[in-house]
Amino acid sequence: MAQSEQVGIIGKGIVIKGNLTGAGDLVIEGKVEGQIALKNHLTIESTGNVQADIQADELTINGEASGNIDASSKVAISASAKVAGDIKAPRVVIEDGAVFNGSIEMEVKLPEDV
Amino acid sequence: MANTVIGSSIVIDGEISGDEDLVVQGTVKGKISLKESLFVEGSGIVEADIETQNVEVAGRVTGNINASEKVELKSDCRVVGDIRAPRILIADGASFKGNVDMDAKGR
């Protein structure tokens, strides 16, 4: 995959208000308010601050995020992250030290007799 | 300093502001206001009013451009809108429609 073309970076000094959609990977080091819908991997770096509902395939949070998260494969919340909102994803990882407030729905297949 | 890059598959609908360089390879609709330089690359499409220090356009821009220093329209770019800046360069092959205001006062 042509990484250099597919990766978008929102730098530290940048503030985006509005909707952000796309198919490539995205790294957020700055601030985003609004809505994010990505088909691939979204990374919120430790300097990043996202106040948005997020839709992505895979999401890695090292910074701050508030809003509802809907990931089609995985959400990883690292030790330095602060997250508030509801998460819906088949796989959710929360590291020791992370701050998280909200609910998690993993779409677990329940046994039929429950 | 890590530049901000809006990749070719990214679409932003809204407002972008900040104090660092911004490279647009994708699509931005709305408004861009920066304290530094904006680069609209060949694949970039901007439908927004732009307020920055420097602007370099190789892609498409629809909207008014207000730069405090310089606007550069590269060849093969397509720009529709009014440009206001003390220095404006238009390369051979560029396509531009709109007013130019170089505000020669104070020089």
A36: in domain = yes
Contact B7 A26 (CB under 8 A): yes
pLDDT of residue B105: 60
A107: in domain = no
A109: in domain = no
A108: in domain = no
Please say if the pLDDT value at position A75 is more than 70. Answer: yes
Unique residue bearing structure tokens 């990977």 = A25
A47: in domain = yes
A103: in domain = no
Question: Chain A 6-45, CB below 8 Å of chain B: which residues?
Answer: 6-26, 29-30, 34
Number of compact structural domains in chain A: 1
Chain mean pLDDT for chain A:
89
- Burial of residue B76 (number of CB atoms within 10 Å: 0-12, 13-18, 19+): middle
Contact A22 B10 (CB under 8 A): yes
A24: in domain = yes
What percent of chain B lies above the pLDDT cut of 70?
Answer: 94
Task: Give me A4's structure tokens.
Answer: 């250099």
B7 and chain A: CB distance < 8 Å anywhere? yes
The answer to whether A41 and A57 have CB atoms below 8 angstroms apart is: yes
A104: in domain = no
